[in-house]
Amino acid sequence: MLGMESIEDKIIQRAKELGFIDCGFSKAEKLESHENTYKDWLSQNYHGEMSYLERNIDKRLDPTLLVENAKTVISLAYNYFPQNVQRLIAPKIAKYAYGEDYHTVVKDQCFLLFQFIQENIPGTTGRIFVDSAPVMERQWAEKAGIGWIGKNSLLLRKGVGSFFFLAEIICSAELQPNVQIASNHCGECTRCIDECPTQAIVQDGVIDSTLCISYLTIEKRTELTATEQNNLNSWIFGCDVCQDVCPWNRFAIPQNNPRFEPKANWITWDNERWKALNEAQFDAFFANTPLQRAGYNKLSAQISK
């Protein structure tokens, strides 16, 4: 009947009510076309010290091995572009880390969406993932039509940009797959490649993580070399250069979830205020934020350099 809303439409509408900027569906099956590319990336040691990326490759490529009775991968995008950004000369922090840990914030919304799905499709089982398991998030989001993987390897979306988190609900419900975007919309633009301070983008969509500032400030556990330290350019947690220079991000709209707002308005701190930060203050201001992953000692060491 005309006017009847599909279950897919209902799920998309509920996702948007929960703050997601998009929701798409893919058939849960092995990502055959990405297997050789991923294994080649590992063989080049582009993952550096992130040894966890070498594990569970079969599950990373095939969600049916990760989640029992998986039929559909639901891909979700959640905006994190901040209302206000750092302006003063000070240690720099990536925008995704301004507020509460996104793993918790986004997962909370995913659980509400999954509850809605189970209410409307009784008996549905599945699992929720927010950057915390062997799931190829960008590839699934691209397959679900949410956007395309840009030259900086991040997922881009027309009219939005790339300042959003990705999440997945891999479930037993059989939902109609979306159509993947036929082509990317980066065109001849090479701003992200040209502006990367460390030339970490070695080819379109491929990052040598061992050169990436985000990797150096978060993932690398061994001591930085003098060259690596010099290349940080005041970044102490993550890096946004390839996103800040991307023309698509001129469309970024500030998020409206108060849980992503920085405590104590630390984005207004200058160099001296950062240098005066003690461990008790760090624990008070940055508890339950991504910065906890680095810890006070690592960050304070970077601030003092």
pLDDT tens for each residue of 247-293: 999 999 999 999 999 988 999 999 999 999 999 999 999 999 999 98
Choice among 62, 131, 204, 244 that is catalytic: 131
- Identify which of 147, 132, 277, 153 has the alpha carbon closest to the alpha carbon of residue 207: 153
Task: Enumerate residues 6+ apart whose C-beta is below 8 A from 113.
Answer: 11, 14, 15, 18, 20, 23, 76, 169
CA dist., res. 259 & res. 141, Å (int): 24
Task: Enumerate residues 6+ apart whose C-beta is below 8 A from 245.
Answer: 191, 192, 195
Report helix angle 7-17 to 102-120, nearest 10.
150
Query: 4-31 burial, b if ≥16 CB within 10 A, otherwise e?
Result: eeeebeebbebbeebbbbbbbbbbbeeb
CA dist., res. 59 & res. 30, Å (int): 9
Q: Which residues of the chain have pLDDT under 50?
A: 1-2
Residue pair 166/106 in contact by the 8 Å Cβ criterion: no
Amino acid letter for position 188: E
Q: Count the helix, strand and coil residues of the chain and give each as a percent rounded to the nearest 5.
A: 40, 15, 45
The partner residues of 25 in beta bridges, in order of sequence, read 74
CA dist., res. 162 & res. 296, Å (int): 29
What are 47's two structure tokens?
């993952």
In angstroms, the first-to-last Cα distance of the chain is 67
Reported as type and span, the H/E element at residue 239 is none
Residue pair 163/11 in contact by the 8 Å Cβ criterion: no
218: three-class secondary structure by DSSP: helix
What are 178's two structure tokens?
């979306």
Residue pair 75/24 in contact by the 8 Å Cβ criterion: yes
CA dist., res. 240 & res. 228, Å (int): 17
Residue pair 206/273 in contact by the 8 Å Cβ criterion: no
Reported as type and span, the H/E element at residue 111 is helix 102-120
Annotated catalytic residue 194:
no
Residue pair 289/97 in contact by the 8 Å Cβ criterion: yes
What are 150's two structure tokens?
């840009």
Instruction: Determine the pLDDT at residue 160.
Output: 96
What are 113's two structure tokens?
């969406």
Sign for the pseudo-dihedral over CA of 170, 139, 221, 195 = negative
Instruction: Determine the pLDDT at residue 177.
Output: 97
